[in-house]
Structure 1
Amino acid sequence: MDRTAVEEEYVEYVTARADGLRRLAFALTGDPDLADALVQSTVTDLYVHWRRARSAPDLDADVRSALVRSWVRGRRRVVGRASADSVRAAMQRLPRRVQAVLVLRFGLGMSVDATAATLRCTDRAVRRRAARGLEALRAHLGDPPPA
């Protein structure tokens, strides 16, 4: 495949997935400008590695995983009965990996297995982080623990 065709394939791929990537990035950052910057950083990295990346068995999962891992590493900043601002403030107090688990599991409705694959950790780690994160959010937001 010539360079022009490969670049067109990349542009088609990114264009088709840009909205979904922005939604994920916004769910993580809580800020539209930071979300756009995170997406831009991710798709730029993807462009650099496109020739190899495009043959991945599940490219969508790999790109989502790269975006989340970039955010977890701290390249960009985050995102009941409580107000959205209260939830954001409570989320920011949590470790980034816990925040990522909560956003993927409950914000995007991903399964434990898919979340573990995205974050490259075990199912047990996802369940543990989700439980700790929800417990911390409840404590911060004043919700009683579940019966």
Structure 2
Amino acid sequence: MLGTWEGTLRGDQTLADFAAEQSVALTRFAYLLCGDRQRAEDLVQDAFLALHRRFGGTLSLAAPVAYARKAIVNAHISQSRKRSASERVTDSVPDAPAPAADRFEQDAMWHALQGLPERQRAVLVLRYYLDLSDPQIATTLGCREGTVRSLAARGFAALRRLPEFSKDGP
């Protein structure tokens, strides 16, 4: 497991020390949520900014990692909603097709996760990447444990419908 669920607070840990220790792990977590390195870095920076606005230069909370993860998930879901509301349909077709991705570099599970709704993806990432329990995921997402189980079940059902993950194979 990467880090601990609650994070550790050693006396009066500064935000700078926390950022130096946790930025890589938080960026990996954010990348799994959004699939874009630059956006993941922005999400982490926004989480650090939220920590600074709330607590200043010295962190006085017992679980700074959990707070940062929750800020990242909330910001990601919020940005996704804004982005989907601002997308526009066009009647023109591009002149050239998008370049084909190298099949050897593609990760089937990552692409499958990208197809899930944001909250379902967040539950699966929190459960299987960070190894969090349902109560911990519920706290992070600000929902009930039953909602976590429901989101996980719907996410798995969607993944099972994909040909690459069905019992019969592609």
TM-score range, shorter chain: 0.7 to 0.9
Identity rate, percent? 33
Q: TM-score, normalised by structure 1?
A: 0.77
Residue type at the aligned position of 2:115: R
1:20 counterpart (9, 19, 25): 25
Q: TM-score, normalised by structure 2?
A: 0.68
The one-character-per-residue Cα deviations of 1:14-64 (angstroms, maximum 9, x if unpaired) are 111111111111111222222111111211222222239822232221111
Bigger relative CO (Cα 8 Å, ≥ 6 apart): 2
CA distance in 2, matches of 1:87, 1:141: 12
Whether the 8 Å CA contact 2:15–2:57 is kept in 1: the answer is: no
Residue type at the aligned position of 2:131: G
Closer, same or farther: CA 127–53 of 1 in aligned 2, 3 Å: farther
User: Do structure 1's residue 111 and structure 2's residue 111 form an aligned pair?
Assistant: no
Superposition CA RMSD, Å: 2.6
Report the CA distance between 1:117 and its aligned residue: 0.9
Residue type at the aligned position of 2:41: D
Whether the 8 Å CA contact 2:124–2:155 is kept in 1: the answer is: yes
User: Structure 1 stretch 129-138 or stretch 106-115: which is displaced more?
Assistant: 106-115
Whether the 8 Å CA contact 2:47–2:71 is kept in 1: the answer is: yes
CA distance in 2, matches of 1:141, 1:109: 27
The one-character-per-residue Cα deviations of 1:123-144 (angstroms, maximum 9, x if unpaired) are 1111110011011011124433
CA distance in 2, matches of 1:52, 1:14: 11
CA distance in 1, matches of 2:143, 2:58: 21
The one-character-per-residue Cα deviations of 1:66-94 (angstroms, maximum 9, x if unpaired) are 111111222598xxxxx854333332332
2:159 counterpart (134, 137, 141): 137
User: Structure 1 stretch 41-50 or stretch 13-22: which is displaced more?
Assistant: 41-50
Whether the 8 Å CA contact 1:86–1:141 is kept in 2: the answer is: no
Q: Give the greater-gyration-radius structure (CA).
A: 2
Whether the 8 Å CA contact 2:35–2:114 is kept in 1: the answer is: no
